[in-house]
């Protein structure tokens, strides 16, 4: 073919071959240099060798300087499933002479490494981060596709909780963790959150929350780094900003408390660490979590109930939920509620409302604990002036009492007097719902009668009979209407059975 | 006797290096054309070449060196792949960490993994370009039809190799891409459910089970993908590749326009015995030549239009190899191969995307997994494979687009295919699809009428229309192939850049909602 | 036109072609060298060859203590502390202790005395004495990858380095 000029073509091919080969060589050389000469860890360790030589004051220092090699060093910990190469660039962590050095050469703070030798613990079990990486950015691993990035220093104590209890480390370098653990109990977090099988169900269970990964958390509302600790901290500041529509009351924490509670959350990891790593106290804690020691009613109340019911003596209006929490230790309630009713409501909760079930399968309270709690609730002292009249009390506790009212008439009365608080159809508004299955099954007619007639002292529920304008028949009609709302066949209902008991 | 025996032994010992070399390579640097031909002919690695080639072969625009580049990429992938196997462990507990170690501490590990990853992507692109080159220069025509079919097999194998390698790092990217892929394999059950057929017809679940060894991606799937990736598919690839290359020669070398002076050097497979001048033929191959069939187009043509393959062709091939290598090592140096978080079955990626070359399919899969993921690809692959059997016109092979008319058809096809593909995305994005209009519509209607199937039908109709108007199967084929190529590019672009979380449409990834 | 069987007139020295060829060979060769480096690991996946053997206070003179996990016998005398590897120098089996306080290899019957000296069998060398040193915090450190001459005891210094 005439258009092909072979000598010219061949010359071009030769030139192209020479140039591409040279370029390939250059790339290979660049790659070799980047890996073997300019790798950051080589440079860092090279500098550390100089520091060691400077500090080689005595024979041992000289020996340490002599033995130092510029190579990757690591802690391989099959028991923990980690390989931590952090000490490659932090070679001075266990050298007490390096306290005055800048990072990455500085000695580890405190006496943590005396009790936790890196050969046994490594680094990432406490600090998290990507132990296999060999550059700081990748070891820190924020935004580097690693599930557990390096913990910011203020949260490192969360890892104490993997093997220790709060009281154990409170004065031994774990004060933040200890505070967090205490706050978790004091703030009554378990009222809504289950942990180790105990706690309410209004919020999500918290087991393993410290191991959540980015993809499990809604990050749209988080203004800082998109990491779990940051999420937790911002969430405690404003649950609704981070989780739109969250039912969680803003816990009103100081900065210090926020950090402490975040630390405690991060410690909830559900990790199967080898038993030998756990302190005896931690073993005991696990044991106690599985078989809780019998607690007093008062203690149970403060842990599980008080976040909503407060002291339980007065009906509290909760601005956040825009509803009244019943005065479960109110003087009126204590006089008219039966033991079986109280226990049933605690055990089963009020489905569809903020009151969760606390029975063993749901909230983790044993029958004995529920009985203890019931005793505490009903043991409220009743001052002379608040004592209800004997006939009312008798009716309240009369198992055979049945309303014989007219539901149709009751409906009209209910609409006029009750829906303002209890909502249309008794579905609950400011005041509790009257149609939950638990309530309908376990609240006896006498209990309803006494409540409507006398109201509940120290709450928003007025006594309609004592206030006047109401007659006994009106009350019976309302009860009949309520039963109709519950839609049950009364003859066979558990109410009938419940009423048969004292 | 003893002394002379010793002397002989001594002589042989001294001549050992030379004799060893001579027995290894049977010649020195060739200085004559005959020696050059023999150098090619007697070397195991070189003898797939013709000993003499037409200078046109050396020209860049003839083939763009794509086939040789693919071989180079396959060699690079094999070499780096074997090296990666030194450290890689196909276990769900260890795989991810072994990749991390390759990345961080294994000498040259990061570089080699990067090269492996980028060369794999490069190979998919190059295969498609190679296919386009062969198609547009009409090089699939008789007698090369079956080599085109082999090429289609290699195309599918390349995708399969790339996809099976995708799972091995066991990261989030891998896990969810393969979950999607496996469920596409299971998608015939869509049809089974829509028709209400008994469970015995459910081949989809069977396919997924064969692929994954379980119902979800796990250790069994990893083992199977590893086996496919390092053993089954490469062996199949090598075999078919060998035949593919061998047939280039047996089918008459590179496609040339009729009338181009053709080579008639020694050892060209299509020579007939009566043409052979004994003085210039290696005696041994004479008998071999007798059984090689072929037309004999060489009579009366000037053999000196050809040039020896050594050194011209070999140097050009070396150049292509070096260019390929340069691209691979440069990519490997500049860009790290992706590796996301460790696979977590509890946390789906959003958006979970297949490898880029399947994103066009994923776009169609977003309406019907069965049609988009299986039926259309099957039709496309089958349709492409059958092209040389349906288009048997005697066209000048080796001419781009078979001339000006073909160029015009191709240009119109680009326009048509682009509009149709954009519409197939834009209409559902803007107005929704059947389910949005008729919420209770039977799934069968969606399986049949979805943007993917309509697009395929539109392309088929367009090429048939071209075929009937021009009365040329070649031009119809050009229209069809162009449509396929353009549709592939556009849908892949949409799937890659315009689809965000929940497969919603976004003009840019910057608009994606923060997770 | 020259016949095809006769030598062509080739350029005397094809510098350009040769340079291209050799550079290409160099590049391919260089990449092969790089690839050949890969199989030699830069870090061992095993735990470190250096291990802590505890505080020097645990080794008063006269102590003989086997650390079974590390396959080492720690020997403490007035002169200091030494670590004797219990890996047979013949083919790597772990030697057992015999009745005389020496060692007997179960694989091919090599015998060693309490100091590791070969008494019989195929072992070509005495058992290895490993380097003992002290970490910065004072703990004894044995490095199984470093050998010292037999009889070389390490005298621990108390406290921490200055």
Whether A213 sits inside 8 A of B341 (CB atoms) is: yes
Q: Does C36 touch chain A (CB under 8 A)?
A: no
Q: Over 70: is that where the pLDDT of B263 sits? A: no
CA distance A324 to A313: 13
The verdict on A448 touching B (C-beta cutoff 8 Å) is no
DSSP state letter for B28: S
Greater model confidence, A262 or B271:
A262
Mean pLDDT across the stretch B283-307? 48
Backbone angles phi, psi at A457, to 5 degrees: -60, 145
- Minimal CA–CA distance to A359: which of A134, A200, A146? A200
Q: Of the given ranges (A59-63, A146-150, A216-220, B326-330), which has the lowest mean pLDDT?
A: A59-63
Give chain A positions within 8 Å (CB) of B332. 31
Q: How does DSSP assign A350-402, residue by residue?
A: -TTSS----STTTT---HHHHHHHHHHHHT----GGGPPPHHHHHHHT-TT--
Report the pLDDT averaged over residues A469-485.
88
Provide the pLDDT confidence category of residue B258 given band limits of 50, 70 and 90: low
Q: What is the pLDDT of residue B296?
A: 44
Quick one: average pLDDT of B148-173?
94
Q: Looking at chain C, which subunits does it touch, using at least 3 CB pairs closer than 8 Å as the criterion?
A: A, B
Pairing of strands B52-53, B307-308: antiparallel
pLDDT at site A135: 93
As a whole-number percent, the residues of chain A with pLDDT over 90 amount to 46
Residue C47 confidence (pLDDT): 72
Q: What angle do CA A10, A11, A13 make, to 5 degrees?
A: 65
Q: Strand order of the sheet with strand C118-120?
A: C96-97, C103-104, C111-112, C118-120
Q: Which residues contact B8 (CB under 8 A, 6 or more apart)?
A: none
Look at residue B196 and give its three-state secondary structure.
Answer: coil
* Disruptive mutation site among C31, C40, C43, C46 for chain B (greatest number of B CBs within 10 Å): C31
The average confidence (pLDDT) of chain A is 88
pLDDT > 80? residue B181:
yes
Q: Look at B111 and A31 and tell me if their CB atoms are within 8 Å.
A: yes
pLDDT above 70 for A211: yes
Please report which confidence band the pLDDT of residue B304 belongs to, taking 50, 70 and 90 as the band edges: low
Q: Which of B341, B334, B322 is CA-nearest to residue B115? A: B334
Helix (H) or strand (E) holding C140, with range, is strand C140-148
Q: Does C20 touch chain A (CB under 8 A)?
A: yes
pLDDT in tens, A111-129: 898 889 888 899 999 999 9
List the single residue in C with minimal CA-CA distance to A33. C34
SS percent in chain C: helix, strand, coil, step 5: 15, 30, 55
Q: Could you tell me if A83 lies within 8 Å of chain B, comparing CB atoms?
A: yes
Which domains does chain B carry?
34-254+303-339 (1.20.810.10), 353-515 (no CATH)
Touching partners of B (3+ C-beta pairs < 8 Å):
A, C
* Arithmetic mean of pLDDT, A170-195: 92
Which of B299, B32, B30 has its CA nearest to residue C3?
B32
Q: Which residues contact B515 (CB under 8 A, 6 or more apart)?
A: A214, A215, A218, A219, A220, B350, B501
Domains for chain A: give ranges and CATH numbers. 40-150 (no CATH), 159-286 (1.10.760), 298-499 (1.10.760.10)
Q: In the prediction, which pLDDT does C162 show?
A: 34
- Indicate the burial class of B325 (C-beta count within 10 angstroms; 0-12, 13-18, 19 or more): buried
Q: Quick one: average pLDDT of A189-204?
A: 90
Mean pLDDT value across chain C: 84
Residue A98: closest C-alpha in chain C: C136
Nearest beta carbon to residue A76 from set C17, C45, C134: C45
Angle between helices B145-167 and B172-185 (to 10 degrees): 130
Q: Which residue in chain C has the smallest CA separation from A113? A: C137
pLDDT of residue B334: 95
> In this structure, how many other beta carbons lie within 10 angstroms of the beta carbon of residue B183?
18
Q: Identify from C1, C2, C4, C10 which residue to disrupt to test chain B contact, counting B C-beta atoms within 10 A and taking the largest count.
A: C4
Any C CB within 8 A of B317 CB: no
Average pLDDT over residues B195-205: 81
Q: Which residues of A touch C157 (CB under 8 A)?
A: 59-60
- Pairwise pLDDT comparison (B2 vs A399), residue with the higher score: A399
pLDDT at B288: 41
pLDDT value at residue A17: 93
Q: Are A314 and A324 in contact (CB under 8 A)?
A: no
Residue B3's pLDDT is what?
67
From A96-110, A305-319, C45-59, the region with the lowest mean pLDDT: C45-59
Q: Across chain B, what does the average pLDDT equal? A: 84
pLDDT digits (tens, 9 = 90+) for B437-494: 888 888 888 888 888 888 999 999 999 999 999 988 889 999 999 999 999 999 999 9
Q: Chain centroid to CA B371: how far?
A: 23
C158 pLDDT tier (thresholds 50, 70, 90):
low
* Whole-angstrom distance, CA of residue A314 vs CA of residue B221: 61
Q: What percent of chain B has pLDDT over 70?
A: 89
For the stretch A339-398, pLDDT in tens is: 999 999 999 998 888 888 999 888 889 899 999 999 999 998 888 888 888 888 888 888
d(CA B137, CA C1): 34
> CB contact, 8 Å: A11 with chain C?
yes
* Rounded CA separation A40/A43 (Å): 5
- What's residue B276's pLDDT? 40
pLDDT in tens, A175-186: 999 999 999 988
Rama region for B64: left / alpha / beta (φ>0; ψ in -120 to 50; rest): left
Question: Residue A484 and residue A411: Cα distance in Å, rounded?
Answer: 9
Spell out the domains of chain C, with CATH numbers in brackets: 50-148 (2.102.10.10)
Question: Between A241 and C47, where is the model more confident?
Answer: A241
Q: Which of A329-338, A429-438, B222-231, B309-318 has the highest mean pLDDT?
A: B222-231
Instruction: Place B262 in a pLDDT band, splitting at 50, 70 and 90.
Output: very low
- On whether the CB atoms of residues B306 and B53 are closer than 8 A, the answer is yes
Over 80: is that where the pLDDT of B395 sits? no
Confidence check: pLDDT of A280 > 50: yes
Q: Which residue has the higher pLDDT, B502 or B102?
A: B102
pLDDT number for residue B260: 54
Residue A494 above 90 pLDDT?
Answer: no
Residues in B touching C22 (Cβ below 8 Å)? none
Q: What is the CA radius of gyration of chain A?
A: 34
pLDDT at A496 over 70: no
Cβ B261–A1 below 8 Å, yes or no?
A: yes
Distance CA(A366)–CA(A369), nearest Å, equals: 5
Judged by DSSP in three states, A427 sits in: coil
Considering A326-330, B21-25, B86-90, the range whose residues carry the highest mean pLDDT is B86-90
Tokens of B445: 């209607």
């Amino acid at each position: 073919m005439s258009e092909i000029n072979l000598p010219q073509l061949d010359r071009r091919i030769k030139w192209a071959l020479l140039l591409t080969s040279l370029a390939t060589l250059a790339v290979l050389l660049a790659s070799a240099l980047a890996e073997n000469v300019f790798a950051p860890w080589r440079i860092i360790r090279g500098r550390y060798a100089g520091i060691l030589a400077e500090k080689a004051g005595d024979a041992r220092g000289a020996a340490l300087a002599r033995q130092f090699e510029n190579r990757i060093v690591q802690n391989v910990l099959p028991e923990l499933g980690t390989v931590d190469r952090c000490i490659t660039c932090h070679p001075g962590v266990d050298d007490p002479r390096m306290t005055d050095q800048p990072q990455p050469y500085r000695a580890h703070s405190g006496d943590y490494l005396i009790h936790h030798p890196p050969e046994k613990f490594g680094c990432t079990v406490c600090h998290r981060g990507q132990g296999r990486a060999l550059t700081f950015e990748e070891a820190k691993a924020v935004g580097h596709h690693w599930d557990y990035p390096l913990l910011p220093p203020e949260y490192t104590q969360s890892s104490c909780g993997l093997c220790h209890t709060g009281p154990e480390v409170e004065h031994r370098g774990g004060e933040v963790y200890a505070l967090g653990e205490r706050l978790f109990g004091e703030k009554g977090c378990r009222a809504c959150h289950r942990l180790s099988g105990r706690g309410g169900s209004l919020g999500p269970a918290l087991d393993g929350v410290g191991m959540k990964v980015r993809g499990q958390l809604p990050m749209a509302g988080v203004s800082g780094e998109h990491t779990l600790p940051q999420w937790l901290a911002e969430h405690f500041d404003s649950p609704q900003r981070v989780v739109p529509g969250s039912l969680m009351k803003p816990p009103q924490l100081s900065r210090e408390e926020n950090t402490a509670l975040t630390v405690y959350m991060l410690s909830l990891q559900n990790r199967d660490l080898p038993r030998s790593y756990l302190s005896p106290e931690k073993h005991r804690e696990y044991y106690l979590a599985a078989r809780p020691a019998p607690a007093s009613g008062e203690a149970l109340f403060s842990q599980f109930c008080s976040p909503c019911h407060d002291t339980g003596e007065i009906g509290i209006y909760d601005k956040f939920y825009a509803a009244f929490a019943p005065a479960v230790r109110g003087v009126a309630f204590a006089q008219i509620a039966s033991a079986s009713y109280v226990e049933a409501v605690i055990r089963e909760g009020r489905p569809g409302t903020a009151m969760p079930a606390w029975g063993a399968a749901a909230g983790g309270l044993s029958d004995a604990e529920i009985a203890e709690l019931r005793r505490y609730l009903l043991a409220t002292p009743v001052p002379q002036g608040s004592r209800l009249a004997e006939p009312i009390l008798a009716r309240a506790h009369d198992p055979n009492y049945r309303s014989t009212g007219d539901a149709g008439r009751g409906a009209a009365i209910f609409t006029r007097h009750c829906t303002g608080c209890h909502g249309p159809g008794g579905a609950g508004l400011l005041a509790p719902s009257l149609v939950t299955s638990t309530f309908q099954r376990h609240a006896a007619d006498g209990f309803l009668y006494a409540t409507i007639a006398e109201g509940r002292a120290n709450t928003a529920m007025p006594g309609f009979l004592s206030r006047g304008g109401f007659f006994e028949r009106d009350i019976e009609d309302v009860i009949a209407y309520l039963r109709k709302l519950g839609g049950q066949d009364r003859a066979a209902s558990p109410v009938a059975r419940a009423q048969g008991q004292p | 006797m003893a002394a002379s025996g010793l002397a002989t032994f001594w002589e042989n010992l001294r001549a050992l290096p030379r004799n060893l070399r001579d027995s290894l390579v049977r010649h020195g640097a060739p200085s004559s054309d005959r020696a050059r031909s023999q150098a090619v002919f007697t070397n195991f690695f070189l003898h797939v070449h013709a000993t003499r080639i037409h200078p046109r072969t050396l020209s860049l625009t003839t083939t763009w060196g794509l086939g040789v580049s693919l071989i180079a990429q396959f060699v690079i992938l094999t070499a780096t792949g074997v090296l990666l196997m030194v450290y890689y462990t196909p276990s769900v507990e260890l795989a991810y960490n072994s990749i991390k170690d390759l990345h961080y501490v294994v000498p040259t590990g990061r570089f080699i993994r990067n090269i492996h990853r980028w060369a794999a992507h490069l190979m998919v692109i190059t295969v498609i370009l190679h296919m386009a080159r062969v198609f547009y220069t009409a090089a699939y025509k008789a007698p090369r039809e079956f080599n085109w079919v082999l090429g289609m097999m290699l195309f599918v194998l390349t995708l399969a190799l790339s996809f099976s390698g995708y799972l091995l790092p066991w990261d989030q990217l891998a896990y969810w891409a393969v979950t999607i892929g496996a469920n596409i394999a299971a998608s015939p059950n869509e049809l089974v459910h829509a028709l209400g057929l008994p469970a015995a017809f459910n081949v989809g679940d069977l396919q997924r089970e064969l692929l994954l060894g379980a119902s979800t991606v796990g250790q069994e799937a990893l083992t199977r993908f590893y086996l496919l990736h390092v053993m089954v598919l490469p062996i199949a690839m090598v075999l078919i590749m060998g035949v593919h290359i061998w047939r280039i020669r047996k089918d008459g070398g590179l496609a040339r326009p009729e009338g181009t002076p053709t080579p008639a050097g020694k050892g060209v497979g299509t020579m007939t015995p009566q043409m052979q001048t004994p003085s210039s033929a290696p005696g041994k191959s004479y008998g071999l030549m007798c059984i090689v069939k072929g037309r004999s187009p060489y009579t009366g043509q000037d053999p000196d239009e050809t040039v020896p393959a050594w050194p011209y062709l070999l140097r050009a091939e070396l150049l292509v190899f070096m260019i390929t290598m340069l691209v691979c090592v440069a990519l490997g140096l500049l860009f790290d191969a992706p590796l996301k978080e460790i696979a977590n079955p509890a946390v789906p990626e959003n958006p979970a995307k297949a490898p880029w070359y399947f994103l066009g399919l994923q776009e169609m899969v977003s309406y019907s997994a069965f049609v988009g993921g299986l039926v259309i690809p099957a039709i496309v692959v089958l349709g492409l494979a059958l092209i040389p059997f349906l288009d048997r016109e005697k066209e000048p092979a080796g001419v781009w687009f078979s001339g000006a008319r073909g160029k015009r058809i191709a240009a119109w096809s680009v326009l048509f295919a682009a509009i149709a593909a954009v519409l197939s995305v834009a209409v559902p994005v803007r107005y929704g699809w059947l389910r949005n209009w008729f919420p209770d519509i039977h799934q069968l209607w969606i399986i049949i009428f979805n943007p993917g199937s309509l697009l395929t039908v539109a392309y088929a109709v367009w090429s048939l229309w071209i075929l009937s108007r021009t009365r040329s199967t070649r031009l119809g084929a050009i229209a069809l192939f162009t449509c396929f190529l353009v549709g592939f590019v556009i849908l892949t672009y949409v799937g890659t850049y315009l689809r965000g979380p929940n497969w919603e449409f976004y003009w840019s990834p910057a608009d994606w909602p923060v997770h | 036109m020259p016949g095809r069987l006769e030598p062509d007139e080739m350029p005397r020295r094809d510098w350009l072609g040769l340079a291209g060829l050799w550079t290409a060979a160099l590049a391919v060769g260089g990449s092969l060298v790089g690839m050949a480096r890969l199989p030699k690991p830069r870090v061992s996946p095993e735990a470190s060859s250096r291990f802590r053997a505890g505080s020097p206070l645990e080794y008063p003179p006269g102590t003989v203590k086997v650390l079974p996990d590390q396959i080492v016998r720690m020997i403490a005398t007035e002169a200091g502390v030494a670590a004797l590897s219990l890996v047979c120098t013949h083919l790597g089996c772990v030697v057992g202790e015999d009745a005389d306080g020496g060692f007997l290899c179960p694989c091919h019957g090599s015998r060693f005395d309490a100091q590791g000296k070969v008494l019989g069998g195929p072992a070509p060398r005495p058992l290895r004495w490993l380097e003992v040193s002290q970490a910065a915090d004072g703990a004894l450190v044995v490095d199984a990858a470093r050998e010292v001459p037999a009889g070389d005891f390490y005298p621990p210094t108390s406290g921490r380095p200055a």
